[in-house]
Amino acid sequence: MKTISRMTMVAGTKAAAAPGSVRARAPLATPNRIGNTARSAVSQMAGAPAGRVVVSRRRDLSLNAVYQDGQKLDRPLRVAIVGGGPAGACAAEECAKAGIETFMVERKMDNCKPCGGAIPLCMIDEFDLPSEIIDRKVNRMKMISPSNVEVDIGSTLKPNEYIGMTRREILDDYLRQRAEENGAKVINGLFMGMEQKEGEKGPWTMKINSYEGEEKKKVDLEVDVVVGADGANSRVAKIIDAGDFDYAIAYQERIRIDDDRMKFYENLAEMYVGDDVSPDFYGWVFPKYDHVGVGTGTVINKPAIKEYQDAIRDRAGDKISGGQIIKIEAHPIPEHPRPKRIEGRVALVGDAAGYVTKCSGEGIYFAAKSGRMCGEAIAARSKQGTQMIGERDLRTYLSKWDRKYWPTYKVLDILQKVFYRSNAAREAFVEMCSSEYVQRMTFDSYLYKTVVPGNPISDLKLLWGTVGSILRSNALRVSQGPTVTFGRK
């Protein structure tokens, strides 16, 4: 159904281009330019004089006139979004809603990304997600310390509060379809590169290997603004020289376990800490729709990731024993934002920008939200697509984003630095999480994504208790196991 509608979209633009005989008269190096054909279609619809639509190469250039920031456009603004995950889809939806001509490039429409797939409660409301995409409602969590002290978290949750577990292929597809319904043009293609032929205020020409139709076709797409939502290994980031980030490798095995054991994980997620499962992160057992995801991650010792994976399987022990591994996945997870997140008329969002929290490693909500905020900024600053925007306009998104979410990221950074240092600190972490006050605060901030200041007296008590826990567990530590520091690498 969906592929058919996409095919007709392409066919439709071609048909619209045919009367203007774009390709027949313009001696273009590349045979097929989506940007041209689509634009001619749009400008005809907008009632632009037909004579202005491409007659020769020279005229073509005059149409591509270099627009200064803020200059009025006689056609809608053209935005290309590279990547069709939550970040890309949400950015595309906002742009398309505002009447901007939006293209979204995604190669794998059924990409089943290795990912915990947990989304906070507020995302369901904010992004209007239907209940079908939630596979499981997790309302209990277990934290397990290096010496196997277990703490059950979740008793403070209200009956209607839960962490939603989703499958990424379902969630991404839903968000993409919604963008498409709002008017975004989804291109099944691989983004190969892009260049600005007419200086830094000129349009971007994107090279795409299109897989629309039967076979691969090389096409060029011409746009004004590019949003890079293409994940941790972003090509867009590379092209604009956005710099690198440190990253963790997350390794996950999807394991199908028998019904009795699965019942145990029905609405329970487990989180293991200890330097056996990861020197600077945690290991997990998350329930998926009919199996569990068992995994771990690390930044500082990535070559040993398989040993850590063995360790997490051992630690989960009997609870997952006898299971069958149905899939193995690994993926880089950014540790911090890239040095450059905006360059000229190119912006990065989601994992491509590096918006993953420390400590919990959460990224779906932040990706979707950053995509949406970027789309909103483009729509607002271009006056619904009627004028050209520049770096400063895109930076309004960055500024809002940093102001809004910096505290959340910083708090989680501090938590990671304090509590993932050593086994002793991890013991203290688990001890601390047994306090109901801590559970309420962490769940509130996770589910609703706001850092709510707590009761100062309880905070002081908590500080006192935490310092006590850390001192005690450090005192008990005789073996000289590893201690991690989180400074410059």
| Residues in contact with 71: Cβ distance below 8 Å, sequence separation at least 6, in sequence order | 387, 388
Task: Give the integer Cα–Cα distance in Å for 367 and 172.
Answer: 12
Q: Shortest Cβ distance from residue 332 to another protein (Å)? A: 7
Give the number of other CB atoms < 10 A from CB of residue 188.
21
> What single-letter amino acid sits at 360?
S
Rounded to 5 degrees, φ, ψ at 315 are -65, -40
Helix (H, G, I), strand (E, B) or coil at 67: coil
CA-based nearest residue to 34, from 220, 278, 172: 220
User: Which residue lies nearer to another protein by CB, 55 or 415?
Assistant: 415
HSE, side-chain direction, 13 A CA sphere, residue 370: 33
Q: Shortest Cβ distance from residue 358 to another protein (Å)? A: 8
Helix (H) or strand (E) holding 305: helix 305-316
Helix (H) or strand (E) holding 82: strand 78-82
Q: Shortest Cβ distance from residue 74 to another protein (Å)? A: 25
Residue tagged 């310092």 (tokens)? 467
Q: Shortest Cβ distance from residue 249 to another protein (Å)? A: 6
Beta partners for 142?
152, 270
**CA-derived radius of gyration, the chain:** 25
Q: Shortest Cβ distance from residue 44 to another protein (Å)? A: 35
User: Which residue lies nearer to another protein by CB, 181 or 246?
Assistant: 246
Q: Shortest Cβ distance from residue 110 to another protein (Å)? A: 24
User: Which residue lies nearer to another protein by CB, 104 or 377?
Assistant: 377
Q: Shortest Cβ distance from residue 233 to another protein (Å)? A: 9
User: Which residue lies nearer to another protein by CB, 26 or 328?
Assistant: 328
Distance of CA 75 to the CA centre of its chain: 31
Rounded to 5 degrees, φ, ψ at 100 are -75, 145
User: Which residue lies nearer to another protein by CB, 65 or 467?
Assistant: 467
Task: Give the integer Cα–Cα distance in Å for 180 and 3.
Answer: 12
User: Which residue lies nearer to another protein by CB, 41 or 342?
Assistant: 342
Rounded to 5 degrees, φ, ψ at 437 are -60, -45
Rounded to 5 degrees, φ, ψ at 458 are -65, -35
Cβ(320)–Cβ(257) below 8 Å: yes
User: Which residue lies nearer to another protein by CB, 158 or 488?
Assistant: 488
Q: Shortest Cβ distance from residue 58 to another protein (Å)? A: 37
User: Which residue lies nearer to another protein by CB, 16 or 304?
Assistant: 304
Helix (H, G, I), strand (E, B) or coil at 441: helix
User: Which residue lies nearer to another protein by CB, 30 or 399?
Assistant: 399
Task: Give the integer Cα–Cα distance in Å for 7 and 341.
Answer: 34
Q: Shortest Cβ distance from residue 236 to another protein (Å)? A: 15
